[in-house]
Amino acid sequence: MVNKPEPPISPDVDLRGMPFMPLDVNRLRDSDLAIEATGEEFRAAVMLWCASWNQVPAGSLPNSDTALAAYAGFGRDIKGWKKVKDGALRGFIECSDDRLYHSVVTEKAMCAWAERVEYREIKDNEKSRKQREREDRKRMFEALRSVGIVLPYNVTTSELRSQYDSIKPDEEAVTGHEHVTVTGHALDTAKRGTGTGTGTGIKDQEHTHTAQTKFSLHDAWEPNPTTFTAVLFRNGMASQTFEADQLLEFRSYWISRPDDLKTQAQWEHALAQQLKRQARTQQANGGSPNETGRRIAQSRTRNAHDILTDDTW
Residues 188 and 299 in one domain: yes
Asked if residue 248 belongs to a domain, the reply is yes
Q: Which domain holds residue 304?
A: 179-309
Asked if residue 165 belongs to a domain, the reply is no
DSSP H helical ranges for the chain: 25-29, 32-36, 39-53, 65-71, 78-88, 103-146, 157-175, 225-234, 244-255, 264-284, 304-309
- The yes-or-no verdict on residue 175 having pLDDT over 60 is no
pLDDT band at 306 (very low <50, low <70, confident <90, very high): low
Residues 204 and 287 in one domain: yes
Q: Which of 9-23, 37-51, 200-214 has the highest mean pLDDT?
A: 37-51
Asked if residue 174 belongs to a domain, the reply is no
Residues 197 and 297 in one domain: yes
Residues 299 and 187 in one domain: yes
pLDDT band at 169 (very low <50, low <70, confident <90, very high): low
- How confident is the model over 206-226, as a mean pLDDT? 78
pLDDT band at 172 (very low <50, low <70, confident <90, very high): very low
* Cα–Cα distance, 181 to 39 (Å, whole number): 93
Please state which of the ranges 98-112, 140-154, 283-297 shows the lowest mean pLDDT: 283-297
Residues 119 and 190 in one domain: no
* Cα–Cα distance, 200 to 185 (Å, whole number): 10
Asked if residue 117 belongs to a domain, the reply is yes
pLDDT attached to residue 265: 87
Residues 106 and 195 in one domain: no
pTM of the model: 0.42
Residues 114 and 50 in one domain: yes
Neighbour-count burial for 76-98, b at 16+ CB within 10 Å, e otherwise: eeeebbeebbebbbbbbeebeee
Domain closes at, from 109, 131, 153? 131
Q: What does DSSP say about strands 60-62 and 206-209: parallel, antiparallel, or unpaired? A: unpaired
- The yes-or-no verdict on residue 164 having pLDDT over 70 is yes
* Cα–Cα distance, 135 to 240 (Å, whole number): 35
Domain closes at, from 131, 151, 169? 131
Residues 124 and 183 in one domain: no
Residues 56 and 120 in one domain: yes
- The yes-or-no verdict on residue 58 having pLDDT over 50 is yes
Domain closes at, from 103, 131, 159? 131
Asked if residue 193 belongs to a domain, the reply is yes
DSSP H helical ranges for 89-211: 103-146, 157-175
Residues 184 and 304 in one domain: yes
Asked if residue 166 belongs to a domain, the reply is no
Percent of the chain having pLDDT more than 70? 76
Please state which of the ranges 80-84, 153-157, 298-302 shows the lowest mean pLDDT: 298-302
25 or 205, which is more confident?
Answer: 25
* Cα–Cα distance, 73 to 176 (Å, whole number): 76
- How confident is the model over 82-105, as a mean pLDDT? 93
Number of helices and strands (H, E) in the chain?
Answer: 11, 5
302 or 112, which is more confident?
Answer: 112
Residues 20 and 92 in one domain: yes
97 or 154, which is more confident?
Answer: 97
pLDDT attached to residue 180: 40
Q: How many domains does the chain have?
A: 2
Residues 85 and 192 in one domain: no
pLDDT band at 65 (very low <50, low <70, confident <90, very high): very high
Asked if residue 237 belongs to a domain, the reply is yes
Asked if residue 290 belongs to a domain, the reply is yes
pLDDT attached to residue 307: 56
